[in-house]
Amino acid sequence: MTNDWTSIAAEQPGKVVQLCYLVPDIAAAVANWTRRMGAGPFFHACFDMEGQRFGDLPARGMLEVAVGYRRGMNIELAAYSGAGPAIYDPASTGVGYGLHHVQVACEDIDAAIADHAARDEAIVTDHVVPGFGRAVMVDMRDMLGHFVEYGAWTPAVHAALAAMEAAHGEWDGRDPLRPYPRLDD
């Protein structure tokens, strides 16, 4: 696939750039992360999982996310609603609420996938998120207790993430949950 999509921190391969937590309620999770951890503000969006796959099965349902920062670390809070199967469905994955995945920076997403495949580590989803880029999840539940994600994101996503991180540095605690920035590509 030829495009100008790149990983977050592609110049630092192997760096963990995001922690994603599966939560039952976005607003409550944002309140906890802002109050207890000093993370925020968070930026909110919803996605239809139509067209995605979880293993060999078509995914169904909606994904609600809130993305923010805490001192340079991207924090994603994700709440799934639907009847599964889906990578974010606690019943489908057995991961439950809590740490769902870490996103790891890479220079070449296809090379990272090939490395995992060579070690017989299952790629459980590989899909394009319209307007965002490509997301790949590797099943590391047996070894780590969660999934590992690789992402190749559009320039607009990189700009939005940079703006979110800058907002964290300037944040005064007001408006902890905001709309996700418009992605003009």
| φ, ψ for residue 48, nearest 5 deg | -85, 130
pLDDT at 2 over 60: no
In this prediction, residues 3-20 reach a mean pLDDT of: 83
Q: What band does 185 get if pLDDT is binned at 50, 70 and 90?
A: low
- The domain spans of the chain are 16-174
Contacting residues for 129 by C-beta, under 8 A, at least 6 apart: 47, 135
CATH number of 16-174: 3.10.180.10
Structure tokens at 27: 């607003």
pLDDT tens for 52-104 read 888 888 888 899 999 999 999 999 999 999 887 889 998 888 888 999 999 99
Per-residue pLDDT at 183: 75
Burial of 170 (0-12, 13-18, 19+ CB in 10 A): exposed
d(Cα 166, Cα 161) in Å, to the nearest integer?
9
Per-residue pLDDT at 1: 46
d(Cα 176, Cα 71) in Å, to the nearest integer?
16
In this prediction, residues 31-51 reach a mean pLDDT of: 94
In this prediction, residues 127-134 reach a mean pLDDT of: 86
Contacting residues for 113 by C-beta, under 8 A, at least 6 apart: 123, 126, 136, 138, 150
In this prediction, residues 135-142 reach a mean pLDDT of: 95
Strand spans (E) along the chain? 16-22, 42-48, 53-54, 57-58, 62-70, 73-81, 98-104, 123-129, 133-140, 146-153, 177-179
